[in-house]
Copies of this chain bind each other. A is one copy, B any other.
């Protein structure tokens, strides 16, 4: 069961979705008594979530008053922690960005170094936006590893030493903190910013490793243990010699991830250490690098072809550092998906590069925080508290 019908949470949902702009709308849509509607609306106004403005368009009697989200009081943060960077976006309750920043930061320095850094950045952004710390109602955070979403604890993250089982939300005290893996928050950011009308979407991040965020019926699908979308360890054919850090061989990311491509280029006598180096080589016209990226696209396409048959998405969005050379990557992906997937499933399928680019994760993390805060269950809890 979700929130009870007719609750403050449901009333807020109708206002934030734009379905109701007056108290009369709310009474009609909910079947609530006018007095109950007024009580709910007054609660929401008092808590600074909603405002009621006079339109000035009087038609003789009392001028009509319109309800809308009040964007001046609250603040929400989206934090994107990568292997080597920290990006923070401060947002209002409608998802508008108030201020943002990005610095280099090594996640491997551990939570005792990284989280205080995030704290300082939050304080600076709040000052820049002119909002007090108490205005900050919720923080969303994407981290480069698996997370138990319900508790916000990383679960054996391979590139985050010191973070295993660390209770990230506790660091921030009373503020609600939602922690998810980076690919999930990127998928959410991309979906809300560029594919809001799309019900079923896959966001594939091709970086050092390869992962996938899944949007089903407009919501993130995290699966039973929160590990859904871990496509980097799906086996691809013909690469049994490629060992993977997971202990298996022929895993997709062990042959097509940015780290794997850099290693193979190095073996060919072309020094490269990272996915970004591979991208630079391709952009510089190196044909070996170009060939490897296109081949990586075909291998990623082989896996995606299976997932298209299984999941039947409307769109596949390719992000991550390798998507900077997306024309070569997408050529290989499209070639394989259209050859191997069923026509019914590919007829209306779009395979496109990410539109939100480097902003996807911070944006998605902020929206995760806002959507949590505005969920009917949370609003009803706040109204009772």
List residues of chain A with CB under 8 Å of any chain B CB: 1, 4-7, 10, 17, 19, 29-33, 36, 146, 155-156, 199-200, 212, 214, 216-217, 219, 221-231, 233-235, 237-238, 246, 248, 302-303, 305-307, 309-314, 339-340, 342, 344-345, 347-349
The residue in chain B whose Cβ has the minimal distance to the Cβ of A247 is: B343
Q: A230-B345, A246-B342 are in contact. Are A221 and B216 (CB under 8 A)?
A: yes
A231: min CB distance to chain B, Å: 6
Q: Pick the contact of A223 from B4, B156, B311, B347 — CB < 8 Å?
A: B311
Chain B residues positioned under 8 Å from A225 (CB to CB): 312, 344-345, 347-348
Cα distance, A228 to B155, chains bound together (Å): 30
Instruction: Decide: A6 and B19 in contact? CB cutoff 8 A.
Output: no
The residue in chain B whose Cβ has the minimal distance to the Cβ of A315 is: B224
Cα distance, A303 to B310, chains bound together (Å): 10
A6: min CB distance to chain B, Å: 4
A250: min CB distance to chain B, Å: 9
Main secondary structure of the interface of A (DSSP, over half): loop
Instruction: Decide: B212 and A224 in contact? CB cutoff 8 A.
Output: no
Cα distance, A146 to B32, chains bound together (Å): 43
Cα distance, A10 to B344, chains bound together (Å): 36
Instruction: Decide: B4 and A233 in contact? CB cutoff 8 A.
Output: no
Q: Pick the contact of A155 from B29, B223, B344 — CB < 8 Å?
A: B344
Chain B residues positioned under 8 Å from A340 (CB to CB): 235, 248
Pick from A212, A246, A311 the residue with the most CB of B within 10 Å: A311
Cα distance, A29 to B342, chains bound together (Å): 47
A181: min CB distance to chain B, Å: 12
Q: Pick the contact of A1 from B19, B223, B312 — CB < 8 Å?
A: B19
Chain B residues positioned under 8 Å from A226 (CB to CB): 312
Cα distance, A24 to B349, chains bound together (Å): 50
Pick from A30, A309, A345 the residue with the most CB of B within 10 Å: A309
9 A-B pairs with least C-beta separation: A223-B312, A5-B5, A6-B31, A228-B312, A224-B314, A237-B237, A5-B10, A234-B306, A6-B6
Q: A5-B5, A6-B5 are in contact. Are A228 and B310 (CB under 8 A)?
A: yes
A264: min CB distance to chain B, Å: 21
Instruction: Decide: A227 and B344 in contact? CB cutoff 8 A.
Output: yes
Chain B residues positioned under 8 Å from A214 (CB to CB): 310-311
Chain B residues positioned under 8 Å from A234 (CB to CB): 305-306, 309-310
A34: min CB distance to chain B, Å: 10
Chain B residues positioned under 8 Å from A212 (CB to CB): 310
Chain B residues positioned under 8 Å from A312 (CB to CB): 222-230
Q: A216-B216, A221-B216, A227-B345 are in contact. Are A306 and B303 (CB under 8 A)?
A: yes
* Sample of 26 A–B contacts (CB below 8 Å): A1-B17, A5-B10, A5-B31, A6-B31, A31-B36, A32-B32, A217-B217, A217-B219, A217-B221, A221-B311, A222-B312, A224-B312, A224-B314, A224-B345, A225-B312, A227-B309, A227-B345, A230-B342, A231-B309, A233-B309, A234-B305, A235-B340, A237-B237, A237-B238, A306-B307, A311-B311
Cα distance, A191 to B75, chains bound together (Å): 42
Instruction: Decide: B199 and A224 in contact? CB cutoff 8 A.
Output: yes
Q: A6-B5, A31-B7, A312-B225 are in contact. Are A235 and B302 (CB under 8 A)?
A: yes
